Structure 1
Amino acid sequence: MKSLFKFFILVFILGAIGAFLLSSEIFEIKNIYVTGNKTVAKDEIIKLSNIQYKQNIFKLNTKDIIKGMFNNPKIKAVKIKRVLPSSIALDIIEREGVALIPYLGSYIKIDEETVIIEVISLESDLNLPIVSGITFSDFKLGEKLKSEKLDQLNSVMEVIKCLKSVKMTDIIETINVEDSSNIIITTSNNIRVYLGNNKLDYKIGMAKSIVEDLTKDNEIGIVDMRHEGNPIFKRD
């Protein structure tokens, strides 16, 4: 009997604590902190989360919050933390664009997972490589690009990964994969590098040094790396 009585007392205490936590004004949300966002505004993130001020902090449904966040294709992940007694912290990880693909008088921006982040106009400030040779019939924001030439798309992503590893992305203007046997990258100062389609990591590492030397000498032209042996440079 004593054990049963203690059990009911414990249940009563826990129930009372639960009722207090769910009804007390102390735990009403007064602050929403947002960190990690770069391009998505704080107000937009709070709106997507559907978190309401004065809402009880323990009544939040984190699954619904995350689901709401993913309505913006730029948001890749979010961490939600309750900061007692009355604050919520949202830590955002955004998708970062790595390339632009022309589409009906505009560009679609994709990230390293080929997820489509946004559509931008031709007049926008273009600071990412423009990819040619990728064909597709339709797309949906927030989903992966479904290309009719999957091999070419995979090659593009490999090239971008290699460019990023040698810190060369910023100077690349275009990536051309129309000919799947010969990927061509063009720098912002019009040096064209014919890579072929093998040993891309090695060739791009070498291409960086060559491009840097040519740029110092104000040379433009074609660097041919399609064949075994030393690269061949042809001036324009």
Structure 2
Amino acid sequence: MEKGKIVSIEERIPKLKKLRKRKTNQRLIFIISLFFLIVLAVVYFQSPLSKVKSIEVEGNKLTSKAGIIAQSGIGKGDSFWKISAKQAEKKLERDPKIHRAHVSLVFPNKLKISIEERQKLAYLAKGKKFYPVLNNGTVLKEAIDETPEQLPILYHFKAGDQLDHMMEALESLPGEIMNSISEIYYAPKKTDSLHIQLFMNDGFEVSATLKTFSEKMVYYPAIVSQLDPNVKGIIDLEVGSYFKAYHPEKKEMSEEPIIEP
């Protein structure tokens, strides 16, 4: 019995040696692989591959690509792995022209900045210059000599509550009604500090108050459909809805109520 046990252990010794050798080889391979990975990492971080090589900007119309990159605080040559995308997004979103910003890292060394800008809703007239106005009431500093787009032109408005209220009202209107407005005048009265006067592209004039403008103006197409297109005048939306037709021969105007839809 003892002899059998001794033989059994001797037979197992070569297998144990092979197992130990295999484990030793595996450890050696792991150590060598780890060493090469560390060397590669050091080489990578010391090489131009770890620096921002290119920056792509999309979605910007109101601000130049160079302006967006400058606002992000990121530049070419910055360490790719030290960039904080969230911090760059916060910096960009401080700009009143930018609604949302998304910064993403594209391996190995590219950066992508996606911008969602505020909507341009109107132009503010100051003398012979026109300044774009965004949906949050921000008036851009870059003036143009003529309006290239079919957007309302605002007169006598100043940056502040009235302009903010006007932009909020315009933003809520359907596109077809927005496109039908040519000019809007801020014309406060003693009885209404929020009175406005609109001139439409179809030749009609609208008298309204910002208090109810967005609610009542949505009915403009239906109101106009009840009127003779050849008889122009003022559509009064301040209290109820009335139409006052112009009479060139007389200085007075006829008045008739309009049934709202």
Q: TM-score range by the shorter chain?
A: 0.5 to 0.7
Structure 1 residue 159 corresponds to structure 2 residue 169: yes
CA offsets 1:49-102 (integer angstroms, 9 cap, x no match): 464444431133547745775797644432111111221111012222222223
**CA distance in structure 2 between the aligned counterparts of 1:121 and 1:25, rounded to whole angstroms:** 43
Is contact 1:22–1:59 with CA below 8 Å preserved after alignment? no
**CA distance in structure 1 between the aligned counterparts of 2:211 and 2:72, rounded to whole angstroms:** 45
In structure 2, the residue matched to 1:114 is 137
Letter in 2 for 1:90: I
User: Given the alignment, which residue of 179, 190, 203 partners 1:170?
Assistant: 179
**CA distance in structure 1 between the aligned counterparts of 2:184 and 2:82, rounded to whole angstroms:** 50
**CA distance in structure 1 between the aligned counterparts of 2:123 and 2:84, rounded to whole angstroms:** 36
Give the 5 Å matches for 1:47-196: 48-49=71-72, 51-62=74-85, 65-66=88-89, 69=92, 74-125=97-148, 127-135=150-158, 145=159, 147=160, 150=161, 152-163=162-173, 165=174, 167-179=176-188, 180=193, 182-196=195-209
TM-score (normalised: structure 2): 0.62
In structure 2, the residue matched to 1:35 is 58
Shift of 1:213: 6.3
In structure 2, the residue matched to 1:234 is 245
Identical aligned residues as a percent: 22
SS of 1:120's partner is: coil
In structure 2, the residue matched to 1:5 is none
Shift of 1:198: 4.1
Letter in 2 for 1:224: D
Structure 1 residue 207 corresponds to structure 2 residue 216: no
SS of 1:189's partner is: coil
**CA distance in structure 1 between the aligned counterparts of 2:183 and 2:145, rounded to whole angstroms:** 15
Q: Deviation above 6 Å: which 4+ runs of structure 1?
A: none
For residues 159 and 65 of structure 1, do their structure 2 counterparts lie closer, same or farther at Cα, with a shift above 3 Å needed? closer
Q: Which runs of 5+ in 2 are unaligned?
A: 1-33, 248-261
Q: Which runs of 5+ in 1 are unaligned?
A: 1-11, 136-144
Based on CA coordinates, which of the two structures has the bigger radius of gyration? 2
Is contact 2:130–2:146 with CA below 8 Å preserved after alignment? no
**CA distance in structure 2 between the aligned counterparts of 1:37 and 1:154, rounded to whole angstroms:** 23
For residues 75 and 29 of structure 1, do their structure 2 counterparts lie closer, same or farther at Cα, with a shift above 3 Å needed? same
